[in-house]
Each structure stands twice: as C-alpha cells, then as structure tokens.
C-alpha cells in the first residue's frame, strides 16, 4: 500500500467519522429521521442513538458475505475504522455544541446534497 493510499484512506475515514459523529450520517439517513419524526426524539438524541448503534456489529453478517466472495479489502477496513474512530470523536465534539435548530438544518442540507449527487451524479 502506498503512502498516498494510506493518507487517502485516513482522510476518508476521518471525514466519514466526522460526518457520522457530527451529523449522524453513519446509518442516520434512515435511523435519524425515523427517530425524530416517528419516535419524537430530539435531533441530538436521534444522532447520538444512531451513532451508538454502530457500537454493535450490526453489519457483521453482510460484511461477512462480501468478505466470503472476496469483496473486502481488509487493509482498507483497518485503516478506515481507526480513522473513523478519531473522526467520529471530533465530529461529535462539534455537534453537541450546536443548537438543535442549526444541527437539524445542517443534517437536512447534507442529506439533500447527497441525494442530489446520487440522483444526478455520474
């Protein structure tokens, strides 16, 4: 693995961890809005709960299927997981200091931007 690959993986992991920690976007595209709009939780509580779900090996069986078929780069997994760990901590430090109103708007803009990119991007 080259240095540039390593640095890129760390940046991706930190960014993914940061957005996961700051905005609850790990599994939060479904979980966070559901907890807010269906269960009535605050944005902060929904994001914290969504992030806490990641503590458990919720994707273990799915990841195992990909691994069994040769579709998992284990070196990348280790680097991304460690970087996500750090990014999640840093992102959550920022998020808990934002107002509910601002945090909800940032979350909505992030989901909207991702949706537009997924629909119209290459």
- Residue range 104-118, pLDDT digits in tens: 999 999 999 989 998
Domain span holding position 41: 3-120
Which tokens hold the place of 53? 């779900």
The model's pTM: 0.72
d(CA 74, CA 53): 22
pLDDT digits 0-9 by tens, 22-51: 776 766 778 888 888 988 889 999 888 888
- Which strand (E) or helix (H) includes residue 43? helix 43-53
Q: How many domains does the chain have?
A: 1
d(CA 44, CA 35): 10
d(CA 11, CA 6): 9
Q: What is the CA radius of gyration of the chain?
A: 15
């Amino acid at each position: 693995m080259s240095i540039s690959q390593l640095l890129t993986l760390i940046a991706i992991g930190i960014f993914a961890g940061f957005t996961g920690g700051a905005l609850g976007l790990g599994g939060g595209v479904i979980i966070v809005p559901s907890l807010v709009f269906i269960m009535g939780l605050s944005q902060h509580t929904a994001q914290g709960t969504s992030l806490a779900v990641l503590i458990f090996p919720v994707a273990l069986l799915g990841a195992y299927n990909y691994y069994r078929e040769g579709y998992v780069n284990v070196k990348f997994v280790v680097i991304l997981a460690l970087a996500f760990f750090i990014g999640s901590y840093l992102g959550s430090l920022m998020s808990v200091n934002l107002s509910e109103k601002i945090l909800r708007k940032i979350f909505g803009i992030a989901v909207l931007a991702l949706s537009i990119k997924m629909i119209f991007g290459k």
